């Protein structure tokens, strides 16, 4: 099968992930011993951009970096992944930070501080031009909501597919829902948004080790089951799923879901927000066809 690779615009967050591992996650007020520490480039927007690029998508990324010691590392991580960053902004102050704790079973807890991401409130003229040239615009909710709404409205009017990973959860305006073609949520987020999701034509709900479910126009649904893997760290698995879904969306829902499910599962096999390469994901997709 000849796959169609999408031109993807990502307007999203870029963070440094400060990752500690422990045998179990601490309870409220409890201190536990850690077993390792690492500083890993992350952020939902950047993770999804890198995941889509690793799978062959042509990806343009708009976000903001600060001026601390993490700035060159975060910029390089995007460029090395093949993501185009000509309009990546730099503002005075710290980069975005995510403090992540991972237990022995791969489960995690995350606290995000926006940093430079909080300055992303308006699109430039060049940003707007690039969005209209994309096949898919990929958005999340780690940036100020006003730029998410502006980007979605512009893309929708231009005929670009608007894909929203509605995370972290917050109230969504009727205007944003009306200009969104595809919403991607996990099971908990789906419960939060259950009243709003019926307004969106395509809804994809991820269920961790149980795979994902798609609900389309008219109520039709598709379920996918991920390959069996040895889980090391679930951090970024959802981002790998979303990036793959965007990369393969124009190949049809069934194909996009197979690739996304395999990519999300394989992302758990390494520490940090790992973006599996095309060749590795293809092996699993072909095996489970």
pLDDT at 52: 96
Closest CA to 133 of 103, 155, 157: 155
- Contacting residues for 148 by C-beta, under 8 A, at least 6 apart: 11, 139, 140, 141, 164, 176
What is the token pair recorded at 8?
A: 């993807």
- Contacting residues for 10 by C-beta, under 8 A, at least 6 apart: 45, 46, 48, 49, 52, 59, 60, 61, 62, 63, 83, 137, 138, 139
SS3 at position 107:
coil
Report how far apart the first and last C-alpha atoms of the chain are (Å, whole number): 12
Query: Is position 181 annotated as part of the catalytic site?
Result: no
Among candidate residues 175, 239, 254, 286, the one labeled active-site is 239
Exposed, middle or buried by CB within 10 Å (0-12, 13-18, 19+), for 132? middle
Pairing of strands 108-113, 96-102: antiparallel
pLDDT at 36: 94
Which secondary-structure segment (H or E) carries 53?
helix 44-54
SS3 at position 106:
coil
* Domains of the chain in sequence order: 7-14+43-93+116-287 (3.40.1190.20)
* Contact (Cβ atoms closer than 8 angstroms) between residue 43 and residue 94: no
Closest CA to 202 of 231, 162, 237, 144: 162
Dihedral angle sign, alpha carbons of residues 26, 32, 33, 39: positive
Q: Tell me the pLDDT of the chain (289 aa) as tens digits.
A: 568 888 999 999 999 999 999 999 999 999 999 999 999 999 999 999 999 999 999 999 999 999 999 999 999 999 999 999 998 999 999 999 999 898 988 788 888 899 999 999 999 999 999 999 999 999 999 999 999 999 999 999 999 999 999 999 999 999 999 999 999 999 999 999 988 898 999 999 999 888 899 999 988 899 988 878 888 777 678 999 999 999 999 999 999 999 999 998 888 888 766 788 888 888 878 766 6
Task: Output the pTM of the full model.
Answer: 0.91
């Amino acid at each position: 099968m000849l796959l169609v690779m999408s031109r993807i615009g990502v307007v999203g967050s870029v963070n440094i992930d400060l990752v500690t591992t422990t045998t179990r996650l601490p309870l409220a007020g409890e201190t536990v011993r850690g077993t390792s520490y690492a500083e890993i480039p992350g952020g939902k927007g950047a993770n999804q951009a890198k995941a889509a690029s690793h799978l062959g998508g042509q990806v343009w990324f708009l976000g903001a970096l600060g001026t601390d010691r993490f700035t060159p590392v975060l910029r390089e991580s995007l460029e090395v992944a093949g993501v185009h960053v000509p309009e990546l902004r730099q503002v005075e102050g710290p980069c975005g930070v995510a403090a992540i704790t991972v237990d022995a079973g791969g489960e995690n807890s995350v606290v995000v501080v926006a940093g430079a991401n909080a300055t992303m409130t308006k699109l430039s003229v060049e940003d707007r031009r690039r969005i209209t040239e994309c096949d898919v615009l990929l958005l999340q909710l780690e940036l100020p909501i006003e730029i998410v709404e502006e980007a979605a409205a512009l893309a929708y009017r231009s005929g670009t597919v608007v894909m929203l990973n509605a995370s972290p959860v917050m109230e969504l305006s009727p205007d944003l829902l009306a200009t969104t073609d595809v919403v991607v949520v996990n099971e908990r987020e789906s419960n939060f948004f259950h009243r709003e999701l019926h307004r969106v034509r395509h809804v994809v709900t991820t269920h961790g080790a149980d795979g994902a479910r798609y609900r389309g126009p008219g109520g039709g649904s598709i379920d996918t089951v991920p390959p069996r893997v040895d889980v090391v760290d679930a951090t970024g698995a959802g981002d790998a799923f979303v990036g793959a879904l965007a990369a393969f969306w124009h190949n049809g829902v069934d194909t996009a879901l197979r690739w996304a499910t395999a990519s999300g599962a394989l992302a758990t096999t390494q520490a940090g927000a790992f973006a599996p390469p095309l060749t590795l994901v293809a092996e699993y997709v072909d095996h489970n066809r």
